[in-house]
Amino acid sequence: MKYVYGPIPSRRLGKSLGVSPIPKKACNFSCVYCQVGRTDMMMNSRRTFFPLEEIINELEQVLKLNENLDVISVVGEGEPTLYLQLGKLIDEIHRISDKPVAVITNSALLYDPQVQTEIGKADIVLPTLDAYDEASFRKINRPHGSLEFKKVLEGLIEFSHSFQGELWLEIMLMKDINDDLSSLEKYQEILKKIKYNRLYLNTPVRPPAELNINVVSEERMNEAVKLLGGTSISSLSSGCFFSEIKDDYEAILSIIKRHPMNQHEIEGFLKSRKTQNIDSIIQELKNDESIETVNYKGFITFRVK
Ligand code: SF4
């Protein structure tokens, strides 16, 4: 599968089938916490990376095998609003499926009226807001040179008031970067201007692009929830990974290509498929030169290089 992956268990969205219309690491940010590593295709102009028909044909095939879904998510290992056909893609997904369509975005292009119109076709938009000023924007998101925090924030605020669907905002909190009281108070002020249905507070649970990035303590996360409202993503449980691909190894590859998995998740996934040789598959993953293993917070995490 080139464009469609999963379904994967999403703590916010449930059983989510992912559609990725962009190449790996095509993004206008290079976030310090990014779970797919540093951005190597930094860009801020929208392109038709792949033909829309190819993506929809593949999705149609996968949908025949997966009826039990909660949502179809347009998401990638980069920023999906960079896909020039995003609006048509959402229209086409609605044509072939009655599942809600969610788009996960870093909010960078929401200042663009065309992007607002296109992403506005989704049922759920999950924008991220990690920064509260230009300095924190540069430090956390490391954006494309043409992006300014003020413009990005104004775009997010404007879109939030015009969007007719569900807007679920996320803030990524990192220890000693943006989890102090002064930062939280700045988010508090900004949140007053955004119209959202849900707020999720997250912290990098998977290996980040920069290894000196750390998760916030549970105590600090609780304080943030108290001050900002919303829900801590770590308090939500996720289900099991799932794949229609028959071969166990190929099934894991198809998931970790887009979504890193740690050893326990892989074991759980293989057990759910009643696989016998779990240890040898994990050893094979460790020996595979196309796979990177990262030891993060005591867990070995696997992701495709
Ligand atoms: S976290 Fe998202 S927005 Fe940030 S660099 Fe990674 S893909 Fe881009």
**How far apart (Å, rounded) are the C-alpha atoms in residues 116 and 145?**
21
10-69: pLDDT as tens digits? 878 888 999 999 998 899 999 999 988 888 899 999 999 999 999 999 999 999 887 788
- Which residue minimizes the CA distance to atom 6 of ligand 1? 34
Most confident of 21-35, 132-146, 199-213, 277-291: 132-146
Ligand 1 midpoint to CA 56 (Å)? 24
Tell me which residue range forms the domain holding 137.
4-239
Q: What CATH number is attached to the domain comprising 298?
A: 1.10.10.10
pLDDT surpasses 90 at 89: yes
Cβ of 27 below 6 Å from ligand 1: yes
pLDDT surpasses 90 at 146: yes
Which of 239, 264, 296 is the C-terminal boundary of a domain? 239
- Structure confidence at residue 43 (pLDDT): 96
Q: Which residues of 160-193 are buried (b: 16+ CB within 10 A; e: fewer)?
A: beebebebbbbbbbbeebbbeeebbebbeebbee
- Structure confidence at residue 297 (pLDDT): 61
Q: Residue 204, preceding bond cis, omega within 30 degrees?
A: no
Which of 192, 219, 239 is the C-terminal boundary of a domain? 239
Ligand 1 midpoint to CA 243 (Å)? 24
Same domain, 189 and 96: yes
The token pair at 265 is 């998740």
Same domain, 235 and 290: no
Q: How many CB atoms lie within 10 A of CB 106?
A: 24
Same domain, 141 and 189: yes
252-305: pLDDT as tens digits? 888 888 778 888 788 888 888 888 888 899 999 999 999 988 876 667 888 888
- Structure confidence at residue 221 (pLDDT): 92
Assign 94 a pLDDT band (cuts: 50, 70, 90): very high
* % of the chain beyond a pLDDT of 90: 63
Average pLDDT over every residue of 244-249: 84
Same domain, 272 and 150: no
Same domain, 124 and 149: yes
- Which residue minimizes the CA distance to atom 4 of ligand 1? 31
- Structure confidence at residue 165 (pLDDT): 95
Which of 193, 221, 239 is the C-terminal boundary of a domain? 239
Same domain, 250 and 210: no
Ligand 1 midpoint to CA 142 (Å)? 10
- Structure confidence at residue 245 (pLDDT): 79
Low-confidence winner among 140-154, 198-212, 227-241 (lowest mean pLDDT): 227-241
Listed residue (92, 51, 90, 94) closest to 74, CA to CA? 90
Q: Which residues of 208-228 are buried (b: 16+ CB within 10 A; e: fewer)?
A: bbbeebbbbeeebbeebeeeb
Closest atom, ligand 1, to C-alpha of 33: 1
Same domain, 176 and 83: yes
Q: Mean pLDDT of all residues in the chain?
A: 90
**How far apart (Å, rounded) are the C-alpha atoms in residues 275 and 161?**
49
- Structure confidence at residue 179 (pLDDT): 95
Count of domains for the chain: 2
Same domain, 269 and 148: no
pLDDT surpasses 70 at 207: yes
Same domain, 195 and 300: no
Classified as helix, coil or strand, 247 is: coil
pLDDT surpasses 60 at 238: no
Q: What CATH number is attached to the domain comprising 121?
A: 3.20.20.70
Same domain, 123 and 256: no
**How far apart (Å, rounded) are the C-alpha atoms in residues 284 and 291?**
10
Report the predicted TM-score, pTM, of the whole model to 2 decimal places: 0.83
Closest atom, ligand 1, to C-alpha of 28: 8
Assign 240 a pLDDT band (cuts: 50, 70, 90): low
Ligand 1 midpoint to CA 229 (Å)? 24
pLDDT surpasses 60 at 100: yes
Cβ of 79 below 6 Å from ligand 1: yes
Ligand 1 midpoint to CA 43 (Å)? 12
Same domain, 153 and 54: yes
Same domain, 211 and 255: no
